[in-house]
Structure formats: structure tokens, C-alpha cells
Amino acid sequence: MLRLFAALAVPEDIALMLAPRQHDLAGARWRPAEALHVTLRYFGDIPENQADDLDAELSQITGRPITLELSGVGAFGEGRDIHAVWAGVAENPDLRVLAGRCETAARRAGLKRDHRAYRPHVTLAYLSRPAPPAVAAWIQRHNLLKSPPFSIASFGLYSSHRSESGSAYRLEKDYFLI
């Protein structure tokens, strides 16, 4: 079984811009620059033969490069169940189309539909039972986050591997948007 997801890698200059915001939250497990990404579709644990089918479907996706901007920050979860803080991605119709095409590829490869609403973001840290006022204060300090526009010319199929320091990601396949 492979734990897979499709994502857009965050360019190095944008990751460097995010780094100063990755502090001042007790117990946060901040994600390293190389792990920052915008998920298009999480596929979960799938057998290797189905991963091959998924790769074949993803390789059929066409599209043009996308220009994105990061805007604002937030958290997933409520109260003591907050489990992540993130940087938001400004609304972008081309990004939604690409995410939809990844969903279609997943369905064609035999995966079940993902019923969660698509909310594009860059996870900055994972949290474990944080103090809600501390998370609220972090959000308030960084809520005006705005990145310059950046262009993405490919998306990738990534595998996720658990380690003592958190999940590590490996690019399995790159798909170019041309």
C-alpha cells in the first residue's frame, strides 16, 4: 500500500517568505520548506497496482500553468481539537479546475469520491491539543499574510511516509502543465 496525494509544490522563494511566520505557537510541529505544498487531491492508502492506474490517469490531465497567491491564515479544528494552522490560497478558478481533474482521475482509477469541500491551503504546522487562545493570537498576528503572485507549471504525485519527526513526502511523478 502507498499513501498518495496530488499537490503543487510551493516555490522556494514563497517558502522563505512563510518561514518567519513559523514560530510563536507552543507545541507546533512546523513543516520544513521542502514539505510545503497545496494539495489537489488526497488519495490515501492504495494498492500499488491501483497507484499505477492512478498515475496513468493523472498523466492524461492537461492544463496551463497556474498563477497563485497566498492570502490569510487559519486553523483546522475547533477548541482543543485544532490540529493544524495554514496559509490560505486566494480563490483561483484554474486551481479548482485542476483539483477537479485530479478528482476525475481518481474516480477513473477506481477510487471513491472525496466528499470533503476543497479548501486550498498550505499547512504550516500540525498541532496536538493546543491552547485555543494561543492559536487565535497566532492567527491574529499573521492574518494579513499576502504573497506575491507565483507561477506553477507542474503538479506532482507524492507519497507520504511517517517518521518520528512527522510525515515525509517524496515526489513520485511530475506532470507538466503546458
pLDDT tens-digit readout, 51-93: 999 999 999 999 999 999 999 999 999 998 999 999 999 999 9
Per-residue confidence (pLDDT) for residue 165, from 0 to 100: 66
Q: Mean pLDDT across the chain, nearest whole number? A: 96
* Structural domain count of the chain: 1
Q: The domain spanning residue 36 has which CATH number?
A: 3.90.1140.10
Residue 11 is part of which domain span?
2-176
Asked whether the beta carbons of 94 and 66 are under 8 A apart, the reply is yes
Per-residue confidence (pLDDT) for residue 99, from 0 to 100: 98
Query: Which pLDDT band, with edges at 50, 70 and 90, does 162 fall under?
Result: confident
Per-residue confidence (pLDDT) for residue 178, from 0 to 100: 82
